[in-house]
Amino acid sequence: MQELMRSNDAVLLSFVDALLKDAQIPHFVADVHMSILDGSIGVLPRRVLVDPDRLDQARRLLRDAELGHELS
């Protein structure tokens, strides 16, 4: 899996998750439980990981949604 993006914004992550699900692009949101280590203050970003074969498609999807600035 390769990193598509990373963010601390839970709303953005939820939106990207929904976009990828709708496009049937397999993905994984990593570091969701890292808030335990940072005291739930949200300093450790969560990463959205995508299969390398679908990475270009996922990037195109985010650019089309005007989220290109969020890409890693």
Mean pLDDT of 44-50: 92
Domain ranges of the chain: 2-70
Mean pLDDT of 22-51: 82
Q: What is the pTM of this model?
A: 0.85
- For 11, 29, 67, the CA distances from 52, given in Å and listed in that order, are 25, 15, 19
Per-residue tokens: 32: 């969701």
If we measure between CA atoms, which residue out of 54, 64, 61 comes closest to residue 28? 54
Q: Report the run of H or E that residue 58 belongs to, with start and end.
A: helix 55-64
Under a CB-based contact definition with an 8 Å cutoff, are residues 1 and 52 in contact? yes
pLDDT attached to residue 38: 60
For 2-70, the fitting CATH number among 3.30.70.790, 3.90.1150.10, 3.40.710.10, 3.40.50.300 is 3.30.70.790
What DSSP state is assigned to residue 37? T
